[in-house]
Amino acid sequence: MTDPAAGHKLLHVVGTRPNFVKVASIMAAVERWNIASAALGQGSSALLQQILVHTGQHYDERMSRVFFRELGLPEPDHYLEVGSGSHAMQTARVMLALEPVLLAEQPDLVVVVGDVNSTLAAALVAAKLCIPVAHVEAGLRSGDRTMPEELNRLLTDQLADLSFTTSKDAGANLAAEGIAPDRVFFVGNTMIDTLKAHLPEAMESSILTQLDLTPSGYAVATLHRPSNVDSQDNLELLARALSLVSERLPVVFPVHARTRDSLRRLALFESLDHRTGLTLTEPLGYLDFLSLIARARLVITDSGGIQEETTVLGVPCLTLRTSTERPVTIWEGTNHLVNPDDADGIAAAVDAVLAAPMPAARMPELWDGQAGNRIVEAVVEWLRG
């Protein structure tokens, strides 16, 4: 009998580096499902088609193309080139550019990942065209509506027909917001799928040699959130904190484009760049960065995904925020929230980490490298309807 899912088309929308990492697992799982279907003699008509749309929210070599190469992602079928801009401008540009693509492709399901502007824009356009939406990483909540990502998460989850969660608390959040339980699937974490798949290759990276670092003898810092890097007072405070930390152990600071612009605008870049013990680099590729954090003594960040990666790697993580949408990384992982408004408090938190033994790697439920496969199984079942 012909598979009722035969010939269905999935359209994936990505825009930023974390999106690329998450979708890589899903697209690879679809390909495995296609290979298995072909082995069962179902023929080419039974294969799930995949269309990849890159909005261009992250668009340069270091922020985009190198990730595609290292993650084995195909060239995008559509590249929207929306570039940077305010939240409203970026969201609107994605919507305007994506609508004709969806009308031309007529996908059976639009798959969005994460919580960036491209995620919400794609979900909104698809929903208005009555095209079903699947949201991967649904239900994460920080409770802080001043974060643009929190608004993107809330609205995308209201639009989604299928909600794939990384942790049980995310499912509870969706239930509290009235999302029907038959739309919610606890599948695990696709970012961790990708980490597990690429960690052996990442550990062959020469990045530590290039930066003259010794394993467990340095810290890694990343900063990019507007609340931390757009304000002169906040960025000056965090620059002071990094300087204090660099007196304790070497700090590698891959500088996000937004952060670099702010540091230069506020005349902070040169002083940091010339500080002994603090190494500023361009944004790194996925493999080099994974290698760097995997062998770090600690990580200081305001990122979401790094909280998850450090948990699985067993590396202490100090998150410079007052809340997190990933509380499982605190309950079950290696993550600690640290007030970003207190440079001395950040240094004290680093001292506490350095005084303690390295934690064991933690593995929250279903963070086992199989999330992509579970998503494909659920999608195929849903398509069979």
User: Which residues have a catalytic role annotated?
Assistant: 224
Determine the 3-state secondary structure of 33 from DSSP: helix
Distance CA 347, CA 350 (A): 5
DSSP states along 7-18: T-EEEEEE-SHH
Which residues on neighbouring strands pair with residue 53, listed in sequence order?
13, 78
Give yes or no for a contact between 257 and 60, defined as CB atoms under 8 angstroms apart. Answer: yes
User: In this structure, what token pair is assigned to residue 17?
Assistant: 């580096």
Q: What is the dihedral of CA 300, 301, 304, 306, to 10 degrees?
A: -50
Residue 4: what residue type?
P
**Would you tell me how many other CB atoms lie within 10 Å of the CB of residue 63?**
18
Return the structure tokens found at 233: 């007072």
Is residue 62 helix, strand or coil? Answer: helix
Helix (H) or strand (E) holding 98: helix 87-105
Chain centroid offset of residue 237 CA: 26
Angstrom distance (rounded) from CA 116 to CA 211 = 31
Q: How far apart are CA 99 and CA 55, in angstroms?
A: 12
With b for 16 or more beta-carbon neighbours within 10 A and e for fewer, the 274-291 pattern comes to ebeebbbbebbbbbbbbb
**Dihedral of the alpha carbons of 283, 19, 193, 291, in degrees to the nearest 10:** 0
- Which strand (E) or helix (H) includes residue 78? strand 78-79
Nearest CA-CA partner of 9 in 93, 72, 101: 101
